Amino acid sequence: MTNKYEENHECCNHSDEDCGCGCSCDHDHEEPGIIYLTLEDGSEMECSVLGIFEVEDKAYIALVPMGEEEVLLYEYIEVEDGIELGQIESDEDFELVSEAFYTLFVEEEDMKI
């Protein structure tokens, strides 16, 4: 699986490279990013990035495919020319990451309501 990552700058119509952000539009840059996953059959799946978080000294990313509600969790690995996403191999690790995701994102949203 490969991926391409881009920031969402829909409100100001400029790319990630241009974003200092010196534009005069009134917006904040805490918008979620978009990541494109290339699937085994060669098709791409567009996903919204919910967040990147750490569990036991490893980084993980939470993604939601556009038009879906299911959250996808992957290991998040920064490499020289971008990022790589890795599968969470063991059930034990997946359980730890899922619990951390729930605590950080779901419980936080419940508190805002």
pLDDT tens by residue, 81-112: 999 999 999 999 999 999 999 999 887 665 55
pLDDT tens by residue, 51-84: 999 999 999 999 999 999 999 999 999 999 999 9
CB contact set of 77 (below 8 Å; sequence gap of 6+): 59, 83, 84, 85, 86
CA distance 6 to 33: 6
Question: Which residue in this structure is represented by tokens 């534009």?
Answer: 23
CA distance 86 to 84: 7
- Note down the domain range covering 14: 2-112
Count of domains for the chain: 1
For the question of whether the overall pTM of this predicted structure is more than 0.75, the answer is no
